[in-house]
A and B are shown apart, each in its own frame.
Chain A
Amino acid sequence: MGNEYKVQVNHLTKKFGNLLVLDDISFHVKENEFLCIVGPTGCGKTTFLNSLSKLYDITAGEILINGMPVDLKKHNVAYIFQEYSNMPWLTIRQNVEFGLRIKHRPEAEIREQTDYFLDMVGLTKFQDYYPDQLSASMLQRAAIARAFAVKPELLLMDEPYGQLDIELRFRLEDELIRLWREVGTTVIFITHNIEEAVYLSNRILVLTNKPTKIKEEIHNDLPRPRNIADPAFVELRRKVTDLIKWW
């Protein structure tokens, strides 16, 4: 019972003092699903993800992974942040190893996983560099490798490509899709970029302004690889855009 969904969010509510930010949100995510969450700027998307990952204490409601309340020590979760989150005192390789070492994985597995994902994101050549020697996109790729290296059952991403230019974003989006299909993880991806959401997702949740609720749920069955110029793609993007406009 309850195991048909990977993630169940029931009546999630978050208040900062008297300010109601998340208002009684409920939704479920299936195993291996790629869920995108979009909404107007400042609608509390990051609060939403931070509540989901238990970085913030929630005011009311419950969040279950495999039918059990979220416990970051037990559930294998990884989070890719909007800001740069590599540790400046570690090399790129040590950064990718970080999660595995926290989880006390055996040394052989650490080596194997790190080699594999450094290669997947094209950073093998740069593994002994320090973060301040690398470009923005390389740093975000290192963060992605670090997240995938622990083989997370749930991967949370908060506008990971928000600060990158379009070309790099396209490239990293394709890379992400490839990793997601290969590793087979459940992804919740937050973005304010509608095109990105339509390009990546199986399903899109559109959020309202604060206090945040789910405005609409859109299934996205466009075949992959997707083409942003395809009429069906454009149509879906327009549909989501119309939902977000609040003016």
Chain B
Amino acid sequence: MNQNKNGTKDNKKYILMSICSVLVFLFIWELVTDVLGIFKSTMLPSPVKVFGTFIDKFTNTKPDGATIQVHTLASLKVALSGYLIGVGIGVPLGIAMAWFRKVDCFVTPLFDLLRPVPGIAWLPVLIVFFGIGLLSKAMVIFLSAFIACVINSYSGIKNTRMVHLWVGQTFGATRSQLLFKVAIPTALPMIFTGLKVALGASWNALIAAELLASTKGLGFMINQARGIYRPDIILVGMIAVGITGAILGYLIELLQKLVMKRGWRQ
């Protein structure tokens, strides 16, 4: 009870401090731009100006041809399609690599060879093959998500404790019962970590891909703004990227809480 009170008190203090830190940051920013004029508005626009542009961007399609919602949705569409395919293939493959010795021997060396290549490094070659449309970007996202999913599912399954398998075996469990009732539950926390890492990686890879080659999306919007010296739109784009990424992270956190009950959280 007492501890609980302290807990909420600490919590309040924490929230207060966070708000302060953001306010101080905005204050200094405003100070060095509009108030003191250390940075010109063509280099670093003031927070007031950025906020104005942000609101304006919801309705204004200039100069990049679309509103911010349209760009965000375009980015999300690519990111999520690549992500879901990456998860759909990566998680089962990681599990299979860890569980079946033959798959492990056959796939793991190849995978270890490709793993250090960042997803975005595939983009030039993908553009050559597929152009700058949805497909090549989705492929980059797919590769980024896929690798994170494989690695985490693989080590999750490898974490399975021998004694848990033995319990199943002595009760006469089949191989597939051991996989579904022992190994996969053991791996679930790691699999979720993989899903989270993969989501972050997908989003990052997408923005990078859009900066390099695209016709819409947040990365495209940022790149266009750079070309016409509109730093306020660049900052608006960055903020939109940050907020969307944070919301995605929050959603997957929520999913994890729904799926995984207490026993998995130690």
State the A residues within 8 Å of B (CB). 50, 53, 55, 72-79, 81, 83-85, 87-91, 98-99, 101-103, 130-132, 146, 150, 156
Contacts and interface: CB of A to CB of B under 8 A. Distances in A.
B248 interface: no
Contacts of B163: 81, 83-85
Contacts of A130: 262-263
A90 B170 contact: no
B170 A53 contact: yes
A98 B170 contact: no
B169 A72 contact: yes
A179 to B, nearest CB: 18
B264 interface: yes
B168 interface: yes
A85 B164 contact: yes
A98 B262 contact: no
Contact of B173 (A74, A84, A102, A132): A102
15 contacts: A50-B166, A55-B166, A73-B172, A77-B170, A77-B171, A79-B170, A81-B163, A81-B167, A87-B167, A89-B185, A98-B168, A98-B171, A102-B168, A103-B171, A156-B170
Contact of B171 (A74, A81, A84, A102): A102
Contact of B166 (A81, A90, A102): A81
B185 A55 contact: no
Nearest to B261: A89
Given A72-B172, A89-B264, A90-B263, A98 B166 contact: no
Contacts of B182: 87
A103 B172 contact: yes
B171 A88 contact: no
10 nearest CB pairs, A to B = A89-B263, A79-B170, A73-B172, A99-B171, A130-B263, A102-B171, A72-B172, A102-B173, A85-B163, A89-B185
A94 to B, nearest CB: 9
A78 B262 contact: no
B162 to A, nearest CB: 9
Interface string B123-166: 00000000000000000000000000000000000000001101
A56 B171 CA distance: 15
Contacts of A50: 166
A98 B178 CA distance: 12
B266 interface: yes
B85 interface: no
A98 B172 CA distance: 11
B261 to A, nearest CB: 8
A78 B188 contact: no
A123 B180 CA distance: 27
A88 B182 CA distance: 10
B266 A132 contact: yes
Contacts of B181: 98, 101-102
A88 B170 contact: no
A91 B263 contact: yes
Interface in B15-68: none
A84 B171 CA distance: 17
Given A85-B163, A87-B164, A78 B264 contact: no
B170 A87 contact: no
A212 B228 CA distance: 84
Contacts of B266: 88, 132
A103 B263 CA distance: 23
Nearest to B177: A102
A88 B167 contact: no
Nearest to A131: B263
Contacts of A146: 167
B171 A150 contact: yes
A189 to B, nearest CB: 15
A234 to B, nearest CB: 36
Given A89-B263, A91-B263, A130-B263, A98 B167 contact: yes
A76 B170 CA distance: 8
Given A89-B264, A98-B181, A103-B171, 12 more contacts: A77-B171, A78-B170, A78-B171, A81-B166, A83-B163, A87-B164, A87-B182, A88-B264, A91-B263, A98-B171, A101-B181, A150-B171
Interface in B211-262: 261-262
Nearest to A146: B167
A66 to B, nearest CB: 15
